[in-house]
Chain A
Amino acid sequence: MARTPSTRILPSDITPPEVFFNRRQAIAAAIAAGVVGLAHEEPASAASSALKYTRNTRYSVDEAPNSYEDITTYNNFYEFGTDKSDPVQNAGSLRTRPWSVVVDGEAEVKGTFTLEDILKPHPLEERIYRFRCVEAWSMVVPWLGFPLGDLLKRFKPTSNAKYVQFTTLHDPRQMPGQRYPILDWPYVEGLRMDEAMHPLTLMVTGVYGKVLPNQNGAPLRLIVPWKYGFKSIKSIVKISFVQRQPRNTWNVATPHEYGFYANVNPAVDHPRWSQAKERRIGNGFFAKRIDTLPFNGYADQVASLYKGMDLRRYF
């Protein structure tokens, strides 16, 4: 690299997405958007509309982000199929407008909110986060979103709210993967209240300056950068404040393989594979395995949340 090690890659250095597209891809995307637009009687521009945001350098890593194409064509979103390429092919059937979110449980403000109500007060910021999948691959992603804590405060959780639970849309007509009981639908995830209120925890609505594509969890998804990707639940329709630890979907499916906490931890292997290293997607056959960092490199900010806990037991 030409840079000196001390120089940070500023978000302003990042190649804008239009440069990432070569012409052929841009044409293909335009055709695809047009087809989707016709099928759903929506304006074709909705899928690629630009968002207003500010760049948050304080919470961004200085690593080169993956391409827009990598981020939007290599996805784990079992609601649309179990292959990495299934979501981009099948997620066109998801309708993200109108969208509403139910808020219930241990809070003073409850009810059904439209997506617009949810999003309105929150200015969007771009944060470049590491993303580490439990399958030992990783990416770097420029998300657009706002701190989850800012949203949760609006509902005035009571002192009984110890955890917050999220639920994904359950509609097999829109989400064909739900026609098979591969997981116990709908997908459910949860965070401890202090994890949810942590400034790194993000509610995400966009990527690369644009509205989040369906295959990435539109219109509203969670990003918890120090945890394995499966914690970052997609297409959220319900937020519940609860007293007891939620039963998250992957933990229900295979309790000895996936825990509730799911903090990235190179010292605790998955029973079937090592978590010590990860392959950074995007360098083709030359993609190197790199060392996985405790808490995915965010230990300075979050390790204190788990002080005194046996991370082997609470994996």
Chain B
Amino acid sequence: MNVDKRYRYVYKPLVFIGCLTPIAWLFAGGFGVLGQSLGPDPIKLTLHTLGKTSLNILMLTLMVTPVRHLAGWPHIVRIRRMLGLFAFFYALLHFTVYLVLDQELDYVSVLKDIAKRPYITVGFTALLILIPLAVTSTNRMMRRLGRRWQTLHRLVYVAAILSVWHYYWQVKRDVREPLVYAGILAVLLGYRYLRRARSRRAVPTSRSGSATAPERI
């Protein structure tokens, strides 16, 4: 099988199934099948699982580029769009569960939360940022936006920082896990910063071919 076929028929379906596992688990727990249970407070567990899954997939999305460079797997970028869309999908479900199940569609209370409670303000902003990125993720939009597409999609870094911040602020006291996410994000963003700084310094001499080749989507 050539690379195209491997991605189309093996890797992408596997990533797709992997990304659906958390929601399948929630359904199993919700309906009590396979011995799963969501415990005494299923609304909170669902809310937290969806949020955490969104964050996890967002981190994976940001790992694609470093893995591509460091492992020398140029084609892995083909799964990036799917990962990014799943991160958005779970963020949207996370907000929907908050709105419908947690707040029982009490719009006044939700608007107050968004305005008054910094961790919700920050999380909601991250969700808003992801919307244009999801909308412009199609091949057509990429062609239409050209160079601006990449500039626009750098907003994902802002969304990632806000998401980790949202998690950190939401935790009552035990910040160990949010700090792990902050650490991972720092490495992922730090890698990009260092690479950029290095390639800038390299510009006056010669652009080394593979290192700075434009992203192939």
**Chain A nearest CB, measured from B103 CB (Å):** 8
Nearest A residue to B118 via CB reads: A272
Q: Show the binding face of B for A, using Cβ within 8 Å.
A: 30, 38-44, 101, 103-104, 109, 112-113, 117-119, 169-170, 172-174, 176
A60 to B118, CA, bound (A): 39
**Chain B nearest CB, measured from A163 CB (Å):** 24
**Chain A nearest CB, measured from B106 CB (Å):** 8
Nearest A residue to B103 via CB reads: A289
Task: Assess whether A279 is in contact with B41, with CB atoms less than 8 Å apart.
Answer: yes
Which of A69, A182, A254, A285 interacts with B174 by CB under 8 Å? A182
Task: Assess whether B169 is in contact with A272, with CB atoms less than 8 Å apart.
Answer: yes
Task: Assess whether B42 is in contact with A285, with CB atoms less than 8 Å apart.
Answer: yes
**Chain A nearest CB, measured from B52 CB (Å):** 12
Which of B39, B170, B173 interacts with A73 by CB under 8 Å? B39
**Chain A nearest CB, measured from B126 CB (Å):** 17
A279 to B101, CA, bound (A): 11
**Chain B nearest CB, measured from A135 CB (Å):** 7
**Chain A nearest CB, measured from B38 CB (Å):** 8
Q: Which of A77-85, A199-207, A304-312 contacts B (4 or more CB under 8 A)?
A: A77-85
For A254, list chain B residues within 8 Å (CB).
173
A84 to B43, CA, bound (A): 14
For A289, list chain B residues within 8 Å (CB).
103-104
For B30, list chain A residues within 8 Å (CB).
285
**Chain A nearest CB, measured from B216 CB (Å):** 43
Known: A272-B117, A285-B101. A135 touches B40 (CB 8 A): no
A-B contact pairs, 12 of them (CB 8 A): A73-B40, A78-B174, A85-B39, A180-B174, A182-B173, A272-B119, A272-B169, A274-B112, A279-B43, A281-B40, A282-B40, A287-B43
Which of A66, A85, A137, A288 interacts with B104 by CB under 8 Å? A288
Nearest B residue to A24 via CB reads: B35
The 3 closest A-B pairs by CB, nearest first: A82-B174, A74-B40, A70-B40
Task: Assess whether B169 is in contact with A253, with CB atoms less than 8 Å apart.
Answer: no
Nearest A residue to B46 via CB reads: A285
A183 to B104, CA, bound (A): 33
For B43, list chain A residues within 8 Å (CB).
279, 285, 287
**Chain B nearest CB, measured from A272 CB (Å):** 6
Nearest A residue to B175 via CB reads: A182
Nearest B residue to A139 via CB reads: B40
Nearest B residue to A67 via CB reads: B40
Nearest A residue to B119 via CB reads: A272
